[in-house]
Amino acid sequence: MSLPPALTAYRVLMRCASPLAVPLLIQRARAGKEDPERRNERLGRPTFPRPPGRLVWLHGASVGESLVLAGLVTEFAAAHPELRFLVTTGTMTSARLMAKRLPPVARHQYLPIDTLSAVTGFLDYWKPGLAVFAESELWPNLVIETAQRGIPMALVNARMNDRSLANWQKRPDSARYLLGCFDWIGAADSRTRDGLENLTGKAVTLAGNLKLEVRSEAPDPQALAQIRKRFDGRPVWLAASTHPGEEATILHAHALTLKAHPDALLILAPRHPERGDEVARLIDKQGFRFVRRSAGEIPSANQQIWLADTLGEMALWYGAARLALIAGSLLPDIGGHNPIEASQAGAVVLSGAHTASFDDLYALYRQHEAVITVSNAASIAAALERVWSHRGPSIKAAKAAITEASGGAMATSLAALEALLEHGKPAEIAS
């Protein structure tokens, strides 16, 4: 099958842009967006030897996808101790997370940029026996070159909101070609399954959402106990994974809350900790008394906000607050974030209305009355009051929603991957 014109044009464009790769990476490193010591990985050049034997390569874009892959690798390795695993991601945040979460049989590399030279260098060196992509990040050269080498390919936990599917439908030939490179696709929800079947004309498995079966890393029990003891008696709430434009609304809500609860504490955790200075300036401008976790500080009784500008401690914040607004949902075009980790940690969930990336999950949360939907500062303050007055959703309700949503995703996905690795065929038709 010949390449669609749009993909042909893309490959020509990327070939012409190849000489700009190194200057661009240097520029991004200076801006703190690339690891300068691991730049060669982005050019398809390894930084450690390939382990002997069969290698499974898994790719996810960023933190959320990498957590799914870490859980998948752990389960895969337990069933097949002879295998070795390579996990690629594209962000420094996810790289640091993978260093902590991957088992000893797995290593992390940065994803090569999508130039032909970087991609071929990567594939020539690692020679994976199976390629697994998570969710929706599909770089054309990477997908095409992997398929052309006859490497079995799977797309796990595929999730696309209506906007993503609409974008794919603008170039149906390209979508059909790229998605057709995968030997097995496991959709996280029915919307994605139906949309991908319409795009590709082939069967897509409704596997369930892997994120619902990946247990979050537990916080340090001693650290959690110390924080809870320090905050004992104070009303505490968490704004988790906030984005630019959301902090202003959240700070206004906290100002309203302080009128009724002068000792209330807000733990404010930006989605990207590198925005810490930016958010700190906003908090300071509004006149709040605050400290920063990145400076090793813990709030005293007279401080009103704890800026949680560190990586990998979200479970600690959920456990400390036990009440969390899952951000990314107060403004359109972000799509919301997964509430599962909050519920697993025993935190009551609040959310804005803009949750397109997790519509199916939030629908179940609403069905089980496990979430309070908010829209502005006043409604956030009212929701906090409701929860602190013991009139809010129960953790039991959230767990019921999670149980209904998971659908055995891990078992289904592992069975398909095992079949692909052994037979080059999806589980449904493997002999």
Residues with catalytic function = 65
With a CB cutoff of 8 Å and minimum separation 6, the contacts of 369 are 393, 397
- Backbone φ, ψ for residue 240 (5° rounding): -100, 130
> Could you give the angle at the alpha carbon of 210 between the alpha carbons of 93 and 238, nearest 5°?
55
371: Cα separation from own chain's centroid: 21
Separation between Cα atoms, residue 17 and residue 12, nearest integer Å: 9
- HSE of 131, CA atoms in CB hemisphere, 13 A: 24
Structure tokens at 70: 């870490």
Torsion of CA 321, 322, 323, 328, to 10 degrees: 80
| Among candidate residues 84, 122, 123, 128, the one with its CA nearest the CA of residue 103 | 84
Alpha helices in 272-426 (DSSP H): 276-285, 314-321, 340-344, 359-367, 377-388, 395-406, 409-423
| Among candidate residues 318, 149, 138, 157, the one with its CA nearest the CA of residue 227 | 318
| Among candidate residues 175, 348, 330, 196, the one with its CA nearest the CA of residue 250 | 330
The SS3 call for residue 7 is helix
Strand arrangement, sheet containing 290-292: 290-292, 305-307, 265-270, 236-242, 323-326, 348-351, 371-373
> Could you give the angle at the alpha carbon of 337 between the alpha carbons of 183 and 176, nearest 5°?
25
Separation between Cα atoms, residue 411 and residue 408, nearest integer Å: 6
Separation between Cα atoms, residue 99 and residue 388, nearest integer Å: 38
Q: Are residues 64 and 338 in contact, defined by beta-carbon separation less than 8 angstroms? A: yes
109: which strand partners? 88
